[in-house]
């Protein structure tokens, strides 16, 4: 018997993008902007920073398991504390869902090129991972509903979706839900909820308190707290009770919980973050379109650009990097011809656009035999 199960051997390890320090060194640059990981360019919520500092003196004690944050979220969303879970980022909660609900013969179902974090977690459980292609870079919910089998246990939907930035609408979700058996758990990953919530057709999943739906949200994006690892989820109390049995008892950490509670009150930071993102998204989308690039309409804090070929995507990413902008090539997501660019501070966005203009010019002046653009 091998020590490592074959499905673990077969996993591809996560490869992080180049760090700004490495890019600076390699290309001899003074300044590098990282627009690769959908992080908040304004830093962490200031109220969260103060609360984290205050929490440090209590670190001799074990954490409470997130109970104060759960209580606060229950109050805010007018649900019971038994309907709320807090964990080490939404990925931490996703890991618990995978451990809690799946048997060896179960299948999970999602879209092709879904959020890589979910794919890795599901595949590390050794169960069947089935996907349905996008349609125009959006979830094809009717096709997903039709692909549900007797063995399907979890359907994973990210709304807005990473890496496309697209959303599915309330109407589309309603139609989809009618076709999902109650024994199937639907994960609605709303990591980018705050960016999309004002879209008139966006289905806020808190309005879908169905027994088989779990909503996941995070402080990593709009609240600028990706580094402390704090996320939360809402579901039927029976699902939460079972998740709590599996969750590490001292997760989230004391500091992470303090950050989350304080961030919820930081309305000013939330608005500033939203406003900056909206401006950045508008500016970048328009500028890239003017360069005749294909831009997928995004409702999140990043845009996806499908290029003509994987080679062209590589060349453009390398050109941007050499000029001082790190973007995310999507080969690891299974989209080798696509790039994802996060919004940053306005000056970083403007530099990115300038760098893209030069990269596109280089393409035109020296087209490769494989480039069809």
Q: How far is CA 237 from CA 16, 79, 191, 216, 241, in A?
A: 36, 10, 21, 15, 6
Q: What share of the chain is helix, strand, coil (3-state, %, to 5)?
A: 45, 15, 40
172 binds ligand PLP (CB under 6 A): no
Element (H, E) at 242: helix 237-246
**What is the CA 356 to chain-centroid distance, rounded?**
24
Total binding residues for ligand PLP by CB under 6 A?
14
Q: Is 256 in the site for ligand PLP (CB under 6 A)?
A: no
162 binds ligand PLP (CB under 6 A): yes
CB nearer ligand PLP, residue 32 or residue 230: 230
From 226, 244, 270, 278, residue interacting with ligand PLP (rule: CB under 6 A): 226
What is the Cβ-side half-sphere exposure of residue 300, based on CA atoms within 13 angstroms?
27
Q: Based on the number of CB atoms within 10 Å of its own CB, is 282 exposed (0-12), middle (13-18) or buried (19 or more)?
A: exposed
| Residue closest to ligand PLP, measured at CB | 89
Q: Which is nearer to ligand PLP, 115 or 134 (CB)?
A: 115
- In the complex with ligand PLP, the residue whose CB is nearer, 89 or 224, is 89
* 189 is a site residue for ligand PLP (CB under 6 A): yes
Query: Is 191 among the residues that bind ligand PLP (CB under 6 A)?
Result: yes
Q: In 3-state terms, what secondary structure has residue 338?
A: strand
Query: Among residues 41, 66, 89, 324, which is the contact residue for ligand PLP, using CB under 6 A?
Result: 89
Neighbours of 138 (CB within 10 A): 17
* List 23, 33, 38, 188, residue binding ligand PLP (CB under 6 A): 38
Q: Which residues pair with 326 in a beta bridge?
A: 34
What is the spatial distance between Cα 192 and Cα 46, in angstroms, rounded to a whole number? Answer: 20
Beta carbon of residue 161, minimum distance to ligand PLP (angstroms, whole number): 7
Q: SS3 for 84?
A: strand
What character string, x for contact with ligand PLP (CB under 6 A) and - otherwise, covers 112-151? ---x-x----------------------------------
Which window, 47-55, 87-95, 194-202, 328-336, contacts ligand PLP (CB under 6 A)?
87-95
Contact positions vs ligand PLP (CB under 6 A): 38, 89-91, 115, 117, 158, 162, 189, 191, 218, 220, 226, 231
């Amino acid at each position: 018997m091998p020590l490592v199960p074959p499905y673990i051997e077969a996993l591809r390890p996560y490869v992080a993008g180049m760090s700004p320090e490495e890019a600076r060194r390699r290309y001899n640059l003074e300044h590098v902007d990282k627009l690769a990981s959908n992080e908040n360019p304004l830093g962490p919520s200031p109220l969260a920073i103060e609360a984290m500092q205050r929490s440090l003196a209590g670190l001799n004690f074990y954490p409470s398991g997130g109970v104060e944050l759960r209580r606060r979220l229950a109050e805010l969303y007018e649900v019971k504390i038994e309907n709320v879970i807090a964990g080490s980022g939404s990925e931490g909660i996703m890991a618990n869902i995978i451990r809690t609900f799946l048997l060896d013969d179960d299948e999970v179902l999602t879209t092709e090129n879904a959020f890589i974090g979910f794919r890795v977690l599901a595949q590390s459980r050794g169960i069947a991972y089935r996907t349905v292609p996008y349609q125009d870079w959006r979830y094809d919910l009717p096709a997903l509903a039709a692909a549900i089998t007797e063995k399907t246990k979890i359907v994973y939907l990210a709304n807005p979706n990473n890496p496309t930035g697209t959303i599915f609408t309330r109407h589309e979700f309603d139609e989809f839900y009618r076709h999902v058996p109650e024994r199937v758990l639907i994960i609605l990953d709303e990591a980018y909820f705050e960016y999309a919530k004002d879209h008139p057709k966006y289905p806020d999943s808190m309005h879908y308190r169905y027994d088989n739906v779990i909503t996941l949200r995070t402080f990593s994006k709009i609240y600028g707290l990706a580094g402390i690892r704090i996320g939360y989820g809402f579901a039927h109390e029976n699902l939460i009770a079972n998740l709590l049995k599996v969750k590490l008892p001292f997760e989230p950490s004391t500091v992470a919980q303090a950050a989350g509670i304080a961030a919820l009150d930081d309305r000013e930071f939330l608005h500033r973050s939203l406003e900056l993102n909206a401006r950045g998204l508008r500016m970048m989308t328009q500028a890239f379109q003017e360069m005749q690039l294909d831009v997928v309409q995004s409702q999140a804090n990043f845009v996806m650009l499908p290029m003509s070929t994987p080679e062209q995507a590589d060349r453009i990413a390398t050109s941007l990097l050499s000029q001082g902008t790190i973007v995310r090539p999507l080969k690891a997501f299974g989209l080798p011809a696509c790039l994802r660019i996060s919004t940053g501070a306005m000056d970083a966005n403007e530099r990115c656009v300038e760098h893209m203009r030069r990269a596109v010019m280089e393409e035109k002046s020296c087209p490769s035999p494989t480039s069809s653009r």
